[in-house]
Structure 1
Amino acid sequence: MNPKDKLIHLHHCRGAGWKTIQAIVQVDPLLSSLFTKSYAEWKDIVPLPSNKLQMFFRDLHSLSIMEKLRRYEECHIQCLTMFDEEYPYLLQQIFDPPWVLYMKGRKELLKEQNTLAIVGTRTPTTYGLGALKAILPKLVEKNFTIISGVAAGIDAAAHMVTLNEGGKTIGVLGGGLLQIYPKRNVQLAETMMKQGLLLSEIPPMRRAEPWMFPVRNRIISGLSRGVLVIEARKRSGTLITAQAALEQGRDVYALPGNILSPQSMGTNQLIQDGAKLVLTASDIEEEYANLF
């Protein structure tokens, strides 16, 4: 088994979170001794309590990863790992890049330079949706690749407007590719698998769980050169993406909104904190012109 397949195998083992895999790769960069270490040796290497270590060890020696890979291939799902040369450069630069990405669709979109994340509330106002529809087509016309999280509300609208305009879009799921969530966006997801790119760090058969969405947000911002926040409440998952973007050294843009609207409190606060106020597509285009 080659190092890439070993990493994917490791990624499917219960208990093998990001830090656990990092600890393993640090002592064995090519995973050459992955299947020969004893339980006692693993105990000294991985930061896991005994119950999780037992699950990890059991999965390590019982999972049939080649069978899973055959299933993924049948479903046209591609696997991209940190061992692959084509792993996205921008994503590689973040503090905790995903060890494995599972993808379906136009893989070549990961090579695009003008990547912009668009995120926002799941309950947008007429104003927020109207502003998105006014700004986004002009960005698509300028060859921006739009990245979002396939969630209800602003995320779904950003993907749909981009597709309707014949543009390029990448969706980052919280759960696995074979367990699309939310169900209302299954049709959108299927369209994106054909015309855009859908990806996830979660193995394809796993259902979405609440903890996966904040973790997913670092990938949305990590793949992007900047993040545009359309509408966000004061405490929301959208602001987690904006915070991740700042930590990753990405630019954050925000749409100003009605001071009486709860959906604009988060974006107005971002602007007060230094995010670039966006009124038109040109405001973002100018910033991107300076990046290149």
Structure 2
Amino acid sequence: MDNQSFHHRLLALHYVMPIPLNRLKPLLQVDPDLEKCERMNIHQLSQLLKLTYDRAQKFKVAYVKALGTPLIQAYKTNNITPLPFNHPNYPKQLSTLYDPPTILYAKGCLDYLLMNYFVAVIGARDATDYSKDAMAYILPPLVKHDMVIVSGLAKGADAMAHQLTHELGGKTIGVLGHGHFHRYPKENLLLYNIMEKHHLTLSEYPPYVTSQKWHFPMRNRIISGLSQAVVVTEAKEKSGTVITLQHALDNGKDVYCVPGPITSMLSLGPNQSLLEGAKPVWNGFQIVEELQSRLFQK
């Protein structure tokens, strides 16, 4: 396989149809180098990519056009580095997901992806000062032991986690639910500048893709998939945060919840999760000890 040519064709395909790797595998099994794709008949493309005939027809036209577009140069101009699933910097832990990202578009400190420890710190968009206070106990030991803090660059708890990690001199990764040409929510514009200049942002979507409601559950699987441990500060009983937490539990990750006051609706998610297998956390050293002991045992 000519890796450079494959990279070019994969970028073109993903630009037109940004789908996870599990949906692309049937095509790659038939055409592992993507050398035949542009010449395949519409019926075969329709079957392999599970598209209607009309959509397969439109895909082929757009794909051929994208092949003639200098995407690599365009991404380079915007300081965006595409990391296909076979790239050395692509996080190996994501390949264990049912639906790994086909490509991660990275902006910032790529060496963060080569670190040993990743801890997700997430919570409610309407998080209170209780989340901020909890993070003041949890994050400093993690930062001190060079653990990368992963979150979703949403407002509320996510923004608190990124901001505090930066203030502590640590490393943090923001996983986006849209492409790099967009910044959502607007409240985090200054934080985006900090993240892109000093840290790392990741997206599984090409830069032009805008935020859509269904993108955020997809983003959340990357947050939990990337991390060895997930910490939840505050969350409502039925929320995206709790779904991320459940995904982490189902995939054998360590899940920690900050126990909350029974008078707060935002404590219902963490408190309920403690009954379902999550561990209570009140100090970051608990997480440091468990993760380091597990690595030592390996």
What is the TM-score normalised by the length of structure 2?
0.93
Name structure 2 gaps, 5 residues minimum: none
Q: Is the 8 A contact 1:14 1:55 kept in 2?
A: no
The aligned counterpart of 2:225 is: 222
Aligned residue identity for 1:45: L
The aligned counterpart of 1:157 is: 160
Deviation at 1:283, TM superposition (A): 1.6
1:41-85 Cα deviation digits (max 9, x unpaired): 213322112332232122112225643322211111100001213
- Paired with 2:231 and 2:278, the residues of 1 have a C-alpha distance of 9
Moved more, 162-171 or 239-248: 239-248
Of 270, 284, 289, the match for 2:287: 284
Q: Is the 8 A contact 2:90 2:104 kept in 1?
A: no
Moved more, 180-189 or 253-262: 180-189
The aligned counterpart of 1:244 is: 247
Q: Is 1:183 aligned with 2:186?
A: yes
- Paired with 1:55 and 1:247, the residues of 2 have a C-alpha distance of 38
The aligned counterpart of 1:268 is: 271
Q: Is 1:258 aligned with 2:261?
A: yes
The aligned counterpart of 1:54 is: 57
Deviation at 1:148, TM superposition (A): 0.3
Deviation at 1:138, TM superposition (A): 2.2
Aligned residue identity for 1:192: M
- Structure 1 segment 1-292 matched on structure 2, within 5 A: 2-14=5-17, 16=19, 18-64=21-67, 66-292=69-295
Name structure 1 gaps, 5 residues minimum: none
Aligned residue identity for 2:207: P
Deviation at 1:39, TM superposition (A): 1.5
Moved more, 157-166 or 94-103: 94-103
Identity across matched positions, percent: 38
1:207-237 Cα deviation digits (max 9, x unpaired): 1111100001011111111100111100001
| Root-mean-square deviation (Å) | 1.6
SS in 2 for 1:63: helix
1:182-218 Cα deviation digits (max 9, x unpaired): 1111221121111110110011111111110000101
1:98-143 Cα deviation digits (max 9, x unpaired): 0001111000100111110001000112222211122212221121
What is the TM-score normalised by the length of structure 1?
0.95
Q: Is the 8 A contact 2:13 2:66 kept in 1?
A: no
* CA 1:17–1:53: 2 relative to 1, 3 Å: farther
SS in 1 for 2:270: helix
Deviation at 1:286, TM superposition (A): 2.0
- Paired with 1:173 and 1:60, the residues of 2 have a C-alpha distance of 25
Q: Is the 8 A contact 1:140 1:167 kept in 2?
A: yes
Deviation at 1:17, TM superposition (A): 5.5
How many correspondences in the alignment?
292
SS in 2 for 1:103: strand
Q: Is the 8 A contact 1:4 1:83 kept in 2?
A: no
Deviation at 1:19, TM superposition (A): 4.4
- Paired with 1:129 and 1:217, the residues of 2 have a C-alpha distance of 21
